[in-house]
Structure 1
Amino acid sequence: MPRTPQRIFLVGISGSGKSTVGRRVAELLGWDFLDTDRLVEERAGRPVAAIFAEDGEAAFRALEADAMAEAARRERVVVATGGGALLSPEGRRAARSGFTVWLSVPPEEAAARLLSDPEAEVRPLLAGDAVARLRELLSRRRPLYAAADAVVTTASLSTEEAAQAVVAAFRKALAGAWGIPGVACEVAAPGGRYPVVVREGALRDLGALAGALGFRGRAFVVTDEVVGQSFARSAAGSLAEAGLEAHVLELPPGEAAKTLGTVERVYEWLAELRAERGELVICLGGGVITDLAGFAAATYLRGMPFIHVPTTLLAMVDAAIGGKTGVDLPAGKNLVGAFAQPAAVLIDPGVLGTLPGRETRAGLAELIKHGLILDEALVADLERVHGDVRAMVGEEFIARSVAIKAAIVSADEREAGLRSLLNYGHTIGHALEAVTGYTRYLHGEAVAVGMHAAGRIAVSMGMLSPEALERQQALLRAVGLPERAPDVPLGPVLERTLLDKKVRGGRVRWVLLERIGRAVLRGDVPESIVREAAAGVLGA
């Protein structure tokens, strides 16, 4: 299995933009951000300038080395380092544990930035002629910076352009590590580490992806009758070009087919073909197929490897990422299943051109949800495109959304804590789907109604401002998602919420927003508030 970096270190002289660029890189990747200078100050209880003045540079460098070592123990983090962080062996060792990017800038530009920033701290080593000191420091440290994995020259770049360049360099490194072009991120969970490819035209390279991952022999493509007509031939052809013998099974489309009976049909097909444990299953389709075929692969012969190739936006940003597989029962959705991580996820945004507009809008509910719970910058960027659905379903937004989910799954594979936040809007949403027989509302539409209910609960609890709720609703309205389901009675929906996976001791635990970009799990919501909020989005 390839070794891929789980942290990014930004290095360079003061004024190169490590902190501002680093924060934006973290937002784009869905990672945490860490500034080693701030960490030193937290540990010492004093500003950097005071440490230099009172204890000397050697004492500061020792604290900085400790901060670098701590950063190296963290995962999925972007680290803005001090200008001299690579001077110590410990600092260099820490940087080598991740992907290092040198933000290169001429000393004159760096000095101008520092002098023009009224909030810039006084840097002890830059006293006097800042340009001359920066030239001297760069001359001495250049060999250390030049050993970085990538260089981004920031002099003529905006913060956004520099951050995008860093992300592009990191993704190029990921692609090199996996031997696969277009790797947007990776999931690194206890159940498996795998790449997530996001690239226009990627479906044509499905066979190459399977080959790069070491699969030979046969591949079993499970799809549905609708998707199969559009993409099964392309998938099978790509697999054949890579030397894999492709077999295709087309199942009935839709949520109604997501049953144990359909899984049994997949088992029987695999048995007829004498499928072997090491052979590959391809799950080609929307969320129903990735859930159902993934479950079949995870359980047939006690587990066959599988690759998800999602063909709907909802599956791309949600169902295909994270290893949840399963089927529905009459009593509720996804009540039978297993955690099983795929060998890879291949996302080709180009296939969305065949998707009905309603399905595309439904998928945007999950993409927007990721921003609402964890990434306010993503919400702001979605707002800036003013509901332009075509712009929202391009590589950039899909890659950012899947990176958020990949980070969550990597930290909490089995939904013990953080991953539960992904269920924002799903408590009411799943209940709404079940009560209406999975026929009246698409999943994303039901989740949009559920997010409205959850937002109303948070406002009533004093957790969320009415303005933040309106911001959420304005974005959902802009893409054409429903805010209410007035044709669905309140009572059956509330009764069905008690089957939610987050129920503990008979009480529903609600995922609620404290602000845009921050969600928490609450088990103390009074029933009266739930009923009032739900009544505002459902029928009598």
Structure 2
Amino acid sequence: MPNNLILTGFSGTGKSQVGLIIAQLWGWDFFDTDDEVTLAAGKSIADIFEQDGEAHFRHLERQAVASACNSSRAVVSTGGGSIVDPDNYRTMITSGVIICLEATPETITRRLQESSDQVSDLRPLLTGPDMIQRIRGLKTQRQAYYGLAKHTVHTDKLTLEEVAQEVYARWQEIAHGATNEGASEKLSPAFVVEAPSASYPVFVDWGLQDHIGKFLLGIGIRGPVYVITDSNVFGLHHGQVQRALEATGIEAHTFTVPAGEASKSLAMAESIFGWLAERRCERSHAIIALGGGMIGDLTGFVAATFLRGVPVIQVPTSLAAMVDASIGGKTAVNLSVGKNLVGAFYQPSMVLADLDTLKTLPARELASGWAEAIKHGLILDASLFRLIEERVESLLKLEPEITVEVIRRSMAIKAKVVEEDEKETTGKRILLNYGHTIGHGLEAATHYTELLHGEAVSVGIVGAGEMSQKMGLLSREELERHTKMLQRFGLPISYPGVNPHSVLKAMELDKKAASKVINWVLLQETGRATVRSDVDEELVQQTLNDLCR
């Protein structure tokens, strides 16, 4: 049986009152970390913030959480922002079971206003005009962390006693083994993306779609939700998702677009806008992108722009979408004059990568996705590249344990880059374009009809590697190692027959408008990339000639 019960959640969800009720019923000790902080400081929380600053308050809070969680048979009510601190979360998760008390911003505002005499003393971050907007903003920042709790209890329509009963019921499930251990592990995120504009959990495992309703409830989304998918994915995965949503009482509507890049258009986005408006979609609802990269881009764009922003959940069903497109918030649709010309940076509220969907992919599309994972190892993680290299056969067979590890690590690399350079302002995110300059040129020169994206990137990786080697950055031995890896996955290392001049023209159109030069991502060694704008044009032409003959 777990040692302690730890309650988390936003201010006004009833943690202190419910925690005290449960402690009295069970005969356990009760700790309120806010009370412990004020006791240790000898002053109110408001005074701590005003006189010593928030950083000092968080320091005292860490000490209070550590002390309370060091107990046994204790109910611990934590402050609304406690779980955001990594040290606090580690302490909480290792000492007991975390249960989140949830409520809507409207309910929280009403409750806090009813106890308005306490707000300025206990909740200095919420003081000031327009309280509900402050609550919405702060709650959005924290919601991904509240999703780390093992269970969530929605308190809006419940009395304190009823909330206590719900918490007790969830506790009993855990204590008596009613919660399958494997399933509970799946409900813990692989990692949390902490981009400047938003934080969100990323779940990566087998069999996750059966739990999608629980995941949504865990981050405070109760529906309705609007699922956008394509005609191929609909038949493969939509039924499972629909049943899982219905099982948790979440109302769901579905819009299906024709499979293929042609659907990633302003016209299709407008059709979806109209459909959402007819169903009275609101900002408090959510949109689910169920599909590959095209669906993720289109749905993300729709979510970013409808009502100036509706929460979007990325549920990638292709390997390429998992390790690349689902993380980072790049959304876009195409125009007749070019791809991805109209879009926005808009981070999802959650990413749910169910690896079971990979079993439905054709071998060629699966290999295309592995190209992106290999690229991540090449540019930033030599140990990941080595792991993939050692386990190629196992990965091709989708053996469960190694597949989870490699995909999680690859996705985490993408997340780390996004955290450091969310909107491509520092130059870090350009490293993700390794192999893409030539790859994009090949795709455009073949009118996006012959090569899968990962296949084009594979050829581009070889080309960028050749230039790196000829410029004295990368050894011939390392280049051959990279090339062999791509071949073992059945990926192309050249593309004979295409006109290299057409590839070059397409690449030039892809230049940064301000500089009019190509910023090449090259390798200095496996796991260490660099950006160069001084690549000789003759070397570029020679490389393209070699790749295309």
Which of these residues, 466, 469, 476, is aligned with residue 466 of structure 1?
476
Query: 1:223 touches 1:249 (CA, 8 Å); kept in 2?
Result: yes
With CA pairs under 8 Å and 6+ residues apart, which has the higher RCO, 1 or 2? 1
User: Which residue of structure 1 aligns with residue 244 of structure 2?
Assistant: 238
In 1, Cα distance between equivalents of 2:308 and 2:92: 44
Q: For residue 394 of structure 1, what is the amino acid of its counterpart? A: T
For 1:306 and 1:491, how far apart are their aligned partners in 2? 40
Is the contact between residue 199 and residue 349 of structure 1 (CA under 8 Å) also seen in structure 2? yes
Structure 2 CA distance for aligned equivalents of residues 101 and 363 of structure 1: 33
Could you tell me which residue of structure 1 aligns to residue 411 of structure 2? 402
Residues 277-310 of structure 1 show CA distances to partners (whole Å, capped at 9, x for unaligned) of 2211000000000011111111111111110000
In the alignment, which residue of structure 1 is the partner of 2:232?
226
Aligned to 1:140: none
Work out whether residues 305 and 342 of structure 1, in 8 Å CA contact, stay in contact via their aligned partners in 2: yes
Q: 1:55 maps to what in 2?
A: none
> 1:512 deviation in Å?
0.6
What does residue range 150-169 of structure 1 map to in structure 2 within 5 Å? none
Partner residue, 1:390: 397
Shift of 1:177: 7.9
CA offset digits 1:171-193 (Å, max 9, x no partner): x9984489671411111011210
Amino acid at match of 1:529: L
Q: Specify the alignment match of 2:187 in structure 1.
A: 181
**Contact 2:319–2:358 (8 Å) recurs in 1:** yes
Percent of paired sites with the same residue? 45
1:97-496 mapped onto 2 (5 Å cutoff):
98-99=86-87, 175-176=148-149, 181-388=187-394, 389-391=396-398, 394-416=403-425, 417-496=427-506
Residue pair 2:150, 2:188 contacting (<8 A) in 1 also:
no
- What TM-score does the superposition give when structure 1 sets the normalisation length? 0.67
TM-fit CA distance, 1:353: 0.7
CA contact (8 A) 1:383 1:475 kept: yes
SS in 1 for 2:228: strand
1:386 Cα offset (Å): 3.6
Paired amino acid for 1:190: P
Q: List per-residue Cα deviations over 1:143-167 (Å, max 9, x = no partner).
A: xxxx89759xxxxxxxxxxxxxxxx
> 1:538, 1:178 → 2: CA distance?
55
Match of 1:508 in 2: 518
Deviations 1:438-469 (A, max 9, x none): 11000000100111111111112111111111
Please report how far the alpha carbon of residue 330 of structure 1 lies from its aligned counterpart in structure 2 after TM superposition. 3.0
Contact 1:203 1:235 in 2 (8 A): yes
Cα distance in 1, alignment partners of residues 277 and 520 from structure 2: 42
Give deviations 1:355-411, integer Å, cap 9, x for gaps. Answer: 111100000000100000000000111111144412477211111111111111111
Question: Does the alignment pair 1:523 with 2:529?
Answer: no
Q: CA deviation at 1:430?
A: 1.2
CA–CA distance in 2 between the matches of 1:198 and 1:304?
Answer: 23
Q: CA RMSD in A?
A: 2.7
Change (3 A) 1:250 1:174: closer
Post-superposition offset of 1:500: 2.2
Instruction: Give me the whole-angstrom Cα distance separating, in 2, the residues matched to 1:501 and 1:259.
Output: 23
The residue type equivalent to 1:210 in the other structure is: L
Distance 1:174 1:221 in 2: 21
Distance 2:405 2:147 in 1: 16
Change (3 A) 1:257 1:177: same
Matched residue type, 1:316 = M
User: 3-state SS of the aligned residue for 1:275?
Assistant: coil
> One-letter code of the match for 2:468?
A
In structure 2, relative to structure 1, the CA distance for the partners of 1:374 and 1:277 (3 Å cut) is same
Cα distance in 2 for residues equivalent to 1:324 and 1:188: 15
Question: How much does 1:489 deviate?
Answer: 0.7
8 Å CA contact retained: 2:435, 2:463: yes
| Aligned position for 1:155 | none
Deviations 1:10-69 (A, max 9, x none): xxxxxxxxxxxxxxxxxxxxxxxxxxxxxxxxxxxxxxxxxxxxxxxxxxxxxxxxxxx9
Provide, for residues 73-120 of structure 1, a one-character-per-residue CA deviation record: whole Å limited to 9, x for no partner: 9xxxxxxxxxxxxxxxxxxxxxx9644999xxxxxxxxxxxxxxxxxx
SS of equivalent residue, structure 1 residue 394: helix
d(CA) in 2 for partners of 1:481 and 1:471? Answer: 14
1:363–1:444 CA contact under 8 A, matched in 2: yes
Contact kept? 1:332, 1:434, Cα under 8 Å = no
The 8 Å contact of residues 333 and 434 in structure 1, kept in 2 or not, is answered as: no
* Helix, strand or coil at the partner of 1:281: strand
Q: Which amino acid aligns with 2:481?
A: R
Segments of structure 1 that go 5 or more residues without pairing to the other structure are 4-68, 74-95, 103-146, 152-171
Report deviation, 1:239.
Answer: 1.5
CA contact (8 A) 2:227 2:289 kept: yes
AA partner of residue 300 (structure 1): F
TM superposition score normalised by structure 2:
0.66
Aligned with residue 533 of structure 1, among 540, 543, 547: 543
Question: In the aligned structure 1, how far is the partner of 2:478 from the partner of 2:146?
Answer: 38
What letter corresponds to residue 252 of structure 2 in structure 1?
A: A
Q: Structure 2: which 5+ residue stretches go unaligned? A: 1-7, 10-54, 60-83, 96-144, 153-185
Distance 1:357 1:178, change over 3 A: farther
Q: Contact conserved, 2:146 with 2:218, CA < 8 A, in 1?
A: no
Q: 1:456 and 1:396 mapped to 2: Cα distance?
A: 30
Cα deviations by residue, 1:232-264 (Å, 9 ceiling, x for unpaired): 111122122222111011101112222222212
Partners in 2 of 1:425 and 1:309 — Cα distance? Answer: 26
Separation (CA, whole Å) in 1 of partners of 2:456 and 2:420: 27
